[in-house]
Structure formats: C-alpha cells, structure tokens
Structure 1
Amino acid sequence: MGLWHVFYADWQMGCCGTPFKVGDEVSWPLLLSDADGELGGGWHDQLTRIAGAVEDLPGDEGAVRVLREESGLVVALHEDPVDVVAEEELGEVRPGDRLRHVGLLTAEFHGDPDLPETRGRVRAIQVLRQGWAETAPGSHTREPVAGDRSLRSVWECPKWFADADAGVIVTLEVPGTDSWLSHAVREARGIPHTTPGRDVTGLPPAALAELLETLSTVREPD
C-alpha cells in the first residue's frame, strides 16, 4: 500500500469538507497541483514524484485529463473538463503520453464533479501554519511567504482553522500503489524494497504517525 502526502486546504474543509481522524477511511478527488502556485511555493517533503500515462476519462461534464501513476494511483491534472481548459494550460501533453512530474497532491472538491476519487486510510495529520506578509508597507493586503511554514501533528482534522493555519498535510495510505514516501518508510524500517505493501505492517497507529512526522518536515531557513 502506497503512502502519499495530500494537502487539504482550510477553505476546502470549511466550505464542504467533513472532519476526519487518523485511522479513518476516506475517498477524495486528488489533483496534482503546481507546487509553486500553492501558498507561494517553497514546499519540501510534501512534494510528490509521479510518473505514468496520461488519459482522458469520460464524464457527465466532459472528459477529465488524469495521470495514471505506474503503481495505480489516478490523479487529475486539471480541476475542470478538458474542453474548458485553456490550450496554454493543457500544454503539449496529450492522452497516451507518458509524464514525469513533481507536484503537490491536493484534495479538490470545487472542480469538475467527475474528478476521480481515491480511497485510502488516513495514517497521519499535520496542521500547516503559514507565514504571511504585506504585499507593500501599509497595503493591508497579504500574500503567503514561500517556505515560511510549520507543521504540528494532530489526531483529528478540525472543521475550522485558526487564522494562521492554512489546512492540513495528510498522509494517505492507498491500496495497490507504491510511492517515494513508501520507499522512505521502508528505508527507515529496514524493510526490503522487494516487498512493497508491507510498509506499515506491525506498526501501531501512534508509532506510524510518529515515523511519518519525521518524513513530512519543512525546510530549515537558510
């Protein structure tokens, strides 16, 4: 079973999300987002490396372009149907192409209702506190500061967040997949990479959450 970091934004939860806790089984639409476009960029361990085939999945609102990762994870590449996404945003990627990409997996509940959902079990939750700064002195307009963030582990995701909290980083265990994060867990536990799927076998939930916390950090300031 593959382990994947997912960013669940505070506004997504506040609008139409359902709180969850470690150990819960959930089903979410996942979007492979441009990390530089999320909270100013500067992400670290939370980034996902993914490679696989590009497909267009038919839906009631139109086809959805997805990436089918080599081990089975399916994530959307755009939050809207292909026929309404601007050509420059679609780029040169077409169905049948193979794509390697590093991005941020995000839970997306405000895009196309046909976005495919991923079912998995929540293994760790970290509240993300984001730094902000005025765009100009006295402007009273704020923007996120790239990389200025901290994480704290919790057992349950809140419905409402403090002003400085931007959401949660969730570690999701997805059956039938494998990931770089799973690779790191096997390394930490001394498990051979020839036996994927045993990453969390025998670990109590609290011990697993503690281990995963060490694999979801923010980069130290220079």
Structure 2
Amino acid sequence: MTASADGTARTATAPATVRAYYKEWEFGCCGDPFHLGEEVVWELGLMELDEEGLAVWRDHLTELDPDVLPALRRTAVERAPASPPPGARLHGMVVASHHGVLDGESQRVSARVAAIHVVSHRWSERPSDRLRLSPATDWAAPFGGPSGAPGVDGWLVTLEEVTSPPPPDREAARGRRARGQRGQRGQRGQRGQRQRRGGRR
C-alpha cells in the first residue's frame, strides 16, 4: 500500500510543503551537498509501502496534491488496491531519487530546504518505533558527505515553496553549481595524483 484515501474532498489550497526521504546510498552515489535554506532542484518519487511499511512512515506522509505533485498522485492511484473516489485526498511517502522509481512516475521540483533530520533504522516490535530521527543543524553532508557513515540511513528533508516544473532560472543555477562542484572534485583529484607521484620519487 503506497497511499491512503479518506474519501473527503481536497482543499482548494495546494500544500506548499513536502517531506522527502533522501536515502544515504542515493546521496553517496550521485548527490550534491545541501543545507538549510538552500534552493534545490530534485527528482521526487513515491515509496512503495506494504502495511508494515506504512505503519513505519505513517507520521511522515505528504498529501499528494494534483497541482504540486501530479505525477506522484497518478502513481498512488495506479498502485491503490481500489480506485479512490474523485477528489479524494491521497497521501504517500515521498523519496528523492537519482535513479527513477520502480513501477511509478517521478516528478522534478524546485524547493527550499526548510528542515533536515538524520534518519536511522532500529529494530522494534512496534513498526512506529523503528525510525530514529535526529535534527541536523545545517549541512546534510558534513565534511563533504558521510557516504557509508555508521548509523546514517538517510535524511528526512522538509521542502517548502515546492514548484513543479522548476523555474528556468533555478534549473540554470543548479547546472552552474553542478559544473562548479565537478570542477572542484576534478582539481582535488589532480592534486592528489600529483602528490602521490611526488611521494614515489
């Protein structure tokens, strides 16, 4: 089960806040560091949850408003065991992904990072107690990125001012930042190679 419908009519005002789970392996593979207050452009998808998974993530679901997340709402409708009534309020667990979503659509959005919580999983008889959230003070990826850091499974990120599709100026700014970060990584790699060659002399 990936979404729930309560049968009530949706409000006219689209929600401007989305909570997205950014898995550590996704970030370690292809992500760029982000921090509180930053404007980001992300690809979002919908986590596929069974009943137990829904119990784990129940407190962190996002309303899938058709004006803000139409692709995710279509995915929720397709995955629902029964067709929800027209205008029903649907909720789902949103994820940030660089690799697409299995059996679902993804949605590209721009947003402002309003809050970051470090997520770790632990065993508990009660599914609702299996997530441990710790507030992150600023950077999601201190010291350049904690890929493989013990106890870090990902981050629960609160996104505000969500817009889809992203405005062209934000897409352009994201491209410039990505090119700058790739250039910095390349320079660091070249310096490391020169240092290693120097050490062998």
State the TM-score, normalizing by the size of structure 2: 0.55
2:100 equivalent among 104, 108, 111? 111
2:154 alignment counterpart = 167
How many residues align structurally?
Answer: 140
2:24 equivalent among 3, 10, 13? 10
How far, CA to CA, are the matches of 2:69 and 2:162 in structure 1? 9
Give the alignment of 1:35-184 within 5 angstroms: 35-36=49-50, 41-51=55-65, 68-69=66-67, 72-76=68-72, 77-78=74-75, 98=87, 100-111=89-100, 115-132=106-123, 147-154=129-136, 155-158=138-141, 159=145, 160-175=147-162
Cα–Cα, structure 1 residues 38 and 5, in superposed 2: closer, same or farther, change >3 Å? farther
Cα–Cα, structure 1 residues 119 and 42, in superposed 2: closer, same or farther, change >3 Å? same
Higher percent of residues as strand? 1
Code of the residue aligned with 2:149 in structure 1: it is A
Q: Structure 1: which 5+ residue stretches go unaligned?
A: 52-67, 79-86, 134-144, 178-222
**1:74 Cα offset (Å):** 3.7
Equivalent residues of 1:8, 1:167 under 8 A apart: yes
How far, CA to CA, are the matches of 1:176 and 1:11 in structure 2? 26
**1:132 Cα offset (Å):** 4.4
2:191 alignment counterpart = none
Q: Does 1:28 align with 2:42?
A: yes
1:207 alignment counterpart = none
Equivalent residues of 1:161, 1:167 under 8 A apart: no
Equivalent residues of 1:3, 1:173 under 8 A apart: yes
Cα–Cα, structure 1 residues 33 and 98, in superposed 2: closer, same or farther, change >3 Å? farther
How far, CA to CA, are the matches of 1:98 and 1:118 in structure 2? 23
Alpha-carbon RMSD: 3.6
State the TM-score, normalizing by the size of structure 1: 0.50
Of structures 1 and 2, the larger Rg is shown by: 2
Secondary structure, counterpart of 2:131 in structure 1? strand
Percent of residue pairs bearing the same amino acid type: 30
